[in-house]
Structure 1
Amino acid sequence: MLTLVSHHLCPYVQRASIALDEKGVRFELTYIDLKAKPDWFLKISPLGKVPLLQVPQQSGETVLFESSVIAEYVEESQAGPKLHPEDALERARHRGWMEFGSSILSDLWGFETAQDRETYEQKRQAVAGKLATMEAALGEGPYFAGTQFSLVDAVFAPIFRYFDLFDTLADHGIFDGLDRVGAWRKALAERPSVKAAVTPDYGERLMTFLREHDAYLLRAGQA
């Protein structure tokens, strides 16, 4: 059986988990503490990051790293519904938007770990601006490619999940005027694979993370 090496809060792990689940692939999860990475993990992870996908073979085991690589492998090697378009040009377009989603995660990291108002506001505007770009790129929905769930959706679902907590902490306004993005967010949140990609205590763990980083977000609602 495939094994996905994970961390409870990692959005990149979530996208791999969602892809596996959408393809109907059975897999095991192994969680590690990224603050105290075990030796066995460091030996098989070239970048020292999650996710990893351990793929058993007759000759031993192959370990894949990087979430986009894992998602592509799952799409190409497993049965189940297609998560990429058949057309080469459209497939390339989807890959571009997946990378765009990764750039939002970089800004989102700055947003959630900002310790002062200025940095918080800079990152808030960066995330809002990129989601406004997505608003213009979306069609009628409910998913990125219409009625067909795709790997682009698997990338954006973990982004939107952050705001299930963030919305309760501050009136950040990131989704203001983004009706299509808001509807997309809602549709993804209802997807079983998205719900299953985190443990029930995800929100508590994320709140602990914010406290450990003295996040301005915790005080933004009082400003």
Structure 2
Amino acid sequence: MRVLVAEDEVRLAVLLEQSLTEAGFEVDVVGDGRAAFAAALDVGDAAYDVLLLDWMLPGLEGLTVCRRLREAGVRTPVLMLTARSAVPDRIAGLEAGADDYLGKPFDLDELIARLRALHRRARSDELEGAVVQVGDLSLDREGRRVHRGGTEITLSAREFDILELLMSRAGRLVTRFTILDEVWDGDTDVRSNVIDVHVAALRAKIDRPFGTDTIRTLRGSGYRIDP
């Protein structure tokens, strides 16, 4: 999961970057609102899964950043982080388009849990529909079945979950960190080569017998399925 942290307090920004990285997230940190707005506008391969915005940012307040992103059509989940705890402030944040609100001081475990919850909620919206289709490759989420044309392909549970993730984001880069977070639930003890082994096994089942090349490796970054 890719997270953009917008926080101008240096010590807190360093702590957040370290803690979220240790939790298995890919983290970028910016220190002002204008940089946060520009970074969050990217909806391509570098798009973020969740935004963590401090309210009191220089340049543009986090509240303004959130509102302008929503006006621009960006629907990335936003967790607003602020020392303002009055009810009117919380209401203002939510009305600006924030999905959640956490007051300072906060517990790091709760922050991580809230970020994961926002991402799961967004993923469930993204994964609406029982069947995902990419070319002649189809994946039935409810039945957990995969077909290439008229041929059914038997996959392990991990292989199915990886394929579902890749197909649901067809055309977008899916990093190893994202696969780790989504399929292994952020288990940082899993070695990166385990992911490579599963992807290789997946290719051997969905591509090799059919003379196709569905899953592309972007070296040093991750994988992508082209629509």
Tell me the TM-score normalised to structure 2 length: 0.29
> Larger RCO: Structure 1 or Structure 2 (Cα < 8 Å, ≥ 6 residues apart)?
1
Q: Name the structure where strand makes up a greater proportion of residues.
A: 2
